[in-house]
């Protein structure tokens, strides 16, 4: 299997960011923040900064702490729901809190980190209005935004390092939803959710 080093990942992400920024260059604004993905929740954009709900279990605690500076650099406010130490906790508690903040409009997007990212993704997707996706590389992060309009990202701290995590977060936050042929599929996802809501 071919491996991609951090330098190559950085170049790929920079190229994508330049493409995204280039698309928005038609309406330049000297003080505009980083390009915002489509589907932003107005209620989660108090003032000029968007809020990202950030959570982790004990396995994701260190990565969560490291990603705070990345989110800040992107001009985002962080609502850290915990955990706040390496003491053992249960990821469903924190994944639910992250998803709830996004679902009720108090956060624009959510990021949840556990050991593998899978369990938190399952939990977040139980919350109405949430489309959570686990990303483990550049392509999965882009695809989850372009095709699925994900509003919660889950990461596996045991599977990826800090540099890759930063690149994933940056590209996930700056990739726009593609709409078009994907919209009918998003509507079907929502219809399935509504069918089972009581």
Asked if 111 contacts 54 with a C-beta cutoff of 8 angstroms, the reply is yes
Residue 196 φ/ψ region, left for φ over 0, alpha for ψ in the -120 to 50 degree band, beta for the rest: alpha
Per-position DSSP letters for 83-132, written without gaps between them: --SSS---HHHHHHHHHHHHHTTS-SEEEEEESSSHHHHHHHTTSTT--E
The one catalytic residue among 10, 58, 147, 182? 147
Helix (H) or strand (E) holding 80: strand 77-82
* Number of neighbouring beta carbons within 10 Å of residue 75: 13
Q: Any catalytic annotation for residue 147?
A: yes
Q: Identify the three-state secondary structure at position 180.
A: coil
Which residues are part of the catalytic machinery? Answer: 147
């Amino acid at each position: 299997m071919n491996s991609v080093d951090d330098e190559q990942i950085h170049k790929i992400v920079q190229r994508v960011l330049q493409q995204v920024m280039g698309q928005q260059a038609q309406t330049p604004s000297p003080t505009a923040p980083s390009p915002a993905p489509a589907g932003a929740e107005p209620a989660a954009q108090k003032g000029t900064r968007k809020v990202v709900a950030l959570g982790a279990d004990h396995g994701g605690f260190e990565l969560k702490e490291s990603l705070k500076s990345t989110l800040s650099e992107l001009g985002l406010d962080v609502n850290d729901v915990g955990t706040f130490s390496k003491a053992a906790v249960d990821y469903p508690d924190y994944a639910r809190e992250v998803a709830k903040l996004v679902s009720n409009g108090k956060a624009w997007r959510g990021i949840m980190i556990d050991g593998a990212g899978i369990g938190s993704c399952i939990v977040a997707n139980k919350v109405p209005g949430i489309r959570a996706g686990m990303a483990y590389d550049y392509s999965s992060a882009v695809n989850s935004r372009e095709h699925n309009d994900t509003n919660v990202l889950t990461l596996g701290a045991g599977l990826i390092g800090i540099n890759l995590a930063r690149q994933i977060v940056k590209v996930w936050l700056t990739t726009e939803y593609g709409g078009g042929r994907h919209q009918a599929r998003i509507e079907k996802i929502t219809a399935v959710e509504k069918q089972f809501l009581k």
